[in-house]
Amino acid sequence: MERIIEHALVPGTFDPITFGHIDVVRRAARMFPRVTVAVAASIGKNGVGTAFTLDERVELARAALAGIPGVEIAPFTGLLVDFAREVDAGAVVKGLRAMTDFEYELQQADLNYRLDSELESVFIMSAPQLGYLSSSVVRQIASLGGDVSAFVPPVVIEALRVRYAR
């Protein structure tokens, strides 16, 4: 008999966490009794690193996701499949915005399957009003002094204000 998956990971860099990420986490929490938001170290992401440290990203995620039952936040380094084994998670949940996301995430799911065939991949389509949203767009707008209040919670707005203070 197949086991029912009780624990899922929602991995990402969350640099910073956005309303799109929060939407995926809320929806994952409706499907799984326990959800861990796995904040990746992502050392050298895109060749430049992250705007926020791992500790800062974990704290922003904790603040932004406070109050969603069954959700915890944890940092991780290394392979996602190793972290999933370490915390006994049976699924990885990823949000998809566009076909380009699908192609990338399909490759990742295939690699994860090859590394651990017991780890399921679950894809959640982004809500239509959030399909354009990405952390990189938020960082770019904030770095130029633009208003990001429609994209991120207040705790992130403040962190971006401090990060990009002129």
3-class DSSP state of 107? helix
Active site residue 21: yes
DSSP H helical ranges for 2-153: 19-31, 54-65, 80-87, 99-115, 135-143
- Annotated catalytic residue, options 34, 85, 97, 163: 97
- Annotated catalytic residue, options 7, 45, 62, 85: 45
- Annotated catalytic residue, options 21, 57, 94, 139: 21
DSSP H helical ranges for 32-134: 54-65, 80-87, 99-115
Active site residue 97: yes
Active site residue 94: no
Active site residue 134: no
3-class DSSP state of 125? strand
Active site residues per annotation: 21, 45, 97, 135
